[in-house]
Amino acid sequence: MARDRANLRTDMISDDDYRKLTRDEQWLYSTLLIHPTLSYAGVADWRPGRLAAIAACTTAADIRRIGRGLQEKYFIYVDEETEEVFVRTFVKHDGLLKQYRLPISMANDYAGISSQEIREFFIHELKKIYAADPDMKCWENERVRNLLDRDSRDMKTLSYGDALPIDLGNDHAEGYGKGYAIDPSEGYGLATTTATTTATSSLEEGSGEKEKTKKPKVPLPQDWMPTKAHQDRAREKNLDLLEEAEKFRNHAESVDRRAANWNSAFSNWLIKAQPGTQPTPSSNNPQTWHQPAPWMQ
């Protein structure tokens, strides 16, 4: 059952975190809450060009910039690969869990989420609601209650730093992270290219905005190495990071895989990997972390 109205709480305007948002961030956040693609799981389509068309004098680049600010403040999470955006506290504040049939609609919409990260963030928020009010009638429904047994992760554990969690098109260096912390020493951060330079080069090359804002898919670079964020993820799951990276490289080469963001691809690889049963010193020992990978020796 599609949403045909939005439940906007009037006390949102008094919330301290909301008042720390910029005017543009408040606009985009409110727009997402009333967007027709927003599901009962709090997930909407992330199409910057289409979102920009809602307001005059707004571009897709504006939407990406504003979205990045909202994500860094943990209001939303954007998965560029699946083109989904998650409004973190939607289910908590919408009141749908207190309705008769809407919790089942929420469970159905959860099943339709493509992003693994968003699926985990959603379950974490649902578990928080259950902890605060375990007596709500919605938990009596088996389909809703079973969601509490799924894997979860707190979105607020992400630390963005110098990373670019939302694709800003060509206004960034290669190798940005999708929603993960990146060690500044890795050299990932905002490029110094100005808007004027970008626009000029676009005209010279004869390419349109749509072509400029989408990274090409390329083979895995020979000098690619996991980031500090990958190291932390491997430690959490007791994985041997260098072994996983070698398997990842072998798989990419065997199927001649292409990707626009190899750091993000490896993050998804680690998410899908089965957790190890014991800690792995070779991956988690900082003294061995910067040793060359087997394929680089």
pLDDT tens-place string over residues 116-155: 999 999 999 999 999 999 999 999 999 999 999 999 999 9
Percent of the chain with pLDDT over 70: 73
Within a domain: 200: no
287 in a domain, yes or no?
A: no
Full residue range of the structural domain in which residue 81 is found: 10-157
pLDDT at 74 over 90: yes
159-171 residues labelled b (16+ CB within 10 A) or e (exposed): ebbbbbbbbbbbb
How do strand 76-79 and strand 84-87 relate by DSSP bridges?
antiparallel
| Residue 268 maps to a domain | no
Length of the chain: 297
Q: What is the mean pLDDT of residues 59-65?
A: 95
More confident residue, 255 or 44: 44
| Of 160, 151, 156, the residue nearest 126 (C-alpha) | 151
- For residue 74, the tally of other CB atoms under 10 A from its CB is 17
Query: By percentage, how much of the chain surpasses pLDDT 90?
Result: 43
pLDDT at 173 over 50: no
pLDDT for 35 equals 95
pLDDT surpassing 90 at residue 248: no
CB count in 10 Å sphere of residue 229: 24
Whether 46 has a pLDDT exceeding 80, the answer reads yes
Does residue 1 lie within any of the structural domains? no
- Segment 253-260 shows an average pLDDT of 82
- What pTM was estimated for this model as a whole? 0.57
Per the domain annotation, does 253 fall within a domain?
Answer: no
More confident residue, 195 or 283: 283
198: pLDDT strictly greater than 90 = no
* Best CA proximity match to 229, nearest among 258, 174, 266: 266
How high is the pLDDT of residue 134?
Answer: 94
Query: Is 185 a member of any domain?
Result: no
pLDDT at residue 177 is higher than 90: no
**Domain count along the chain:** 1
Q: What are phi and psi of 85, to 5 degrees?
A: -130, 135
Report if residue 42 sits inside a domain.
yes
**128 within domain boundaries:** yes
- Asked if 28 and 70 count as a contact pair (C-beta separation under 8 A), the reply is yes
CA dihedral 217, 219, 221, 226 (to 10 degrees): 70
Confidence category of residue 112, pLDDT binned at 50, 70, 90: very high
pLDDT at 293 over 80: no
* Helices and strands in the chain, H and E counts: 15, 3
Section 167-188 average pLDDT: 37
Q: What is the spatial distance between Cα 71 and Cα 81, in angstroms, rounded to a whole number?
A: 16
Which of these ranges, 27-31, 184-188, 267-271, has the smallest mean pLDDT?
A: 184-188
**What are 200-232's pLDDT values in tens digits?**
444 444 444 444 456 788 888 988 888 888 888
**What token pair was written down for 14?**
């008094």
153: helix, coil or strand?
A: coil
Contact between 63 and 28 (Cβ < 8 Å): yes
In Å, how far are 60, 185, 223 from 284, measured between CA atoms? 40, 18, 21
Would you say the C-alpha torsion 94, 100, 102, 106 has a positive or negative sign? positive
**Strands ordered across the beta sheet of 43-45:** 43-45, 84-87, 76-79
Let me know: does 240 contact 234? Beta carbons within 8 Å.
Answer: yes
Closest CA to 271 of 188, 182, 179: 179
